[in-house]
Amino acid sequence: MSTLALTPGVTSEAFPYVCSELAAAALFTYDILICLDEEITHVWWSPRSIPKTLFMVSRYVGLAVIGTMPVIAFYADPSAACRAYLPVQFLVLQAVAFCCDGLLLMRVAAVFNHKRWLCRTLYGLYTLAYLIESAIAILNFVTSLKATPVPDEWDCIITRHASGGNLLDTIVTLPILIFNLILFTLTVIHLSPYWRAREKNQTHILTLILEEGTIYFAIVCAALLAETIVPLLLTDDLGVAWLALIPIASNRLFLSLRAAASGSLNSGDDTNPVSYTPASALVVRPSGGSEQTTGQSTSNVVQRLNTVSSRLSTTTPWM
């Protein structure tokens, strides 16, 4: 394969895309580095499990595909191989998104105590959304292999210059966006009892949102919303700068829950990083009130920990 000459026109088209890809890769790398000690403690040394696999794939396969995008963007050749790259890239990104949503889904199922009807509905929607995504990706892949190469085409750079953006990209993203909006809505519903009691417990609203993990679901929805709307508004594609936020948010939720669960069961002792709570992984929040409420707060904490422990043998841990 040969490198295409960087004419001013080609450079102007590629510049926003490549810069956004570099920003996404830098942000992802930075997040991994600042969380590396926590990741080693609570993930690397833990037993094999489905959640751990989802975490590792979404984190490091995601970093690999996002990190290579700026390099591939500057390597073009009118060939079938280069045409096939974009659908393959799309498939890998969907695999990463599949793992991220898997972590979020397991969290939602856990906080609702694995209600059968809810779990079946959510897992059905989860499967349906990604079947639609996969079908479109495979169709694009087959079409790209059959296409006739055009000389001097900037094959490996995604451009959306079809009057206001690519409507197909928006349609493709919609099933995943709708699914994540459902997950976010369920987390808000779960948060509502604590929301009403926050004044009594003297808990700040931001603390409540952060500790219950709702903020991570909101970040994922915002990133997907940007992926859906921005291509329709801009003539120059901005790459996937916001897509890096999806694995970052889901990974942060996973790490925070594991850290909280390990601290709860081990009484703050980090020497045993492989002992975790089950999927519920409720973050214990002190009441934060006066000294008169200390006894009641301690009793509530003990009761919640006993409830979690009693389900160790009856629920499948995702932590």
Tokens of 109: 């199922």
Catalogue all structural domains in the chain, each as residue range(s) with its CATH number. 8-310 (1.20.1070)
Over residues 17-29, the pLDDT tens digits come to: 777 888 889 999 9
User: 281, 260 in Cβ contact below 8 A?
Assistant: yes
Q: What is the pTM of this model?
A: 0.73
Q: What angle do CA 275, 307, 286 make, to 5 degrees?
A: 85
Q: Which is more confident, 55 or 241?
A: 55
pLDDT at 171: 74
Provide mean pLDDT across the span 168-182: 84
pLDDT at 36: 93
* Cβ neighbours for 172, distance < 8 A, ≥ 6 positions apart: 133, 136
Comparing 96-110, 115-129, 135-149, 162-176, the range with the smallest average pLDDT is 162-176
Quick one: three-class SS letters along the chain? CCCCCCCHHHHHHHHHHHHHHHHHHHHHHHHHHHCHHHHHHHHHCCCCCHHHHHHHHHHHHHHHHHHHHHHHHCCCCCCHHHHHHHHHHHHHHHHHHHHHHHHHHHHHHHHCCCCHHHHHHHHHHHHHHHHHHHHHHHHHHHHHHHCCCCCCCCCCCCCCCCCCCCHHHHHHHHHHHHHHHHHHHHHHHHHHHHHHHHHHHCCCHHHHHHHCCHHHHHHHHHHHHHHHHHHHHCCCCCCCCHHHHHHHHHHHHHHHHHHHHHHHHCCCCCCCCCCCCCCCCCCCCCCCCCHHHHHHHHHHHHHHHHHHHHCCCCCCCCC
Residue 115: burial class (beta carbons within 10 Å; 0-12, 13-18, 19+):
exposed
Q: Which is more confident, 201 or 55?
A: 55
Q: Which is more confident, 54 or 200?
A: 54
pLDDT at 68: 83
Comparing 22-36, 128-142, 274-288, the range with the smallest average pLDDT is 274-288
Over residues 236-265, the pLDDT tens digits come to: 555 566 778 999 999 999 998 888 877 654
pLDDT at 190: 85
Provide mean pLDDT across the span 191-203: 68
Q: Which is more confident, 296 or 250?
A: 250
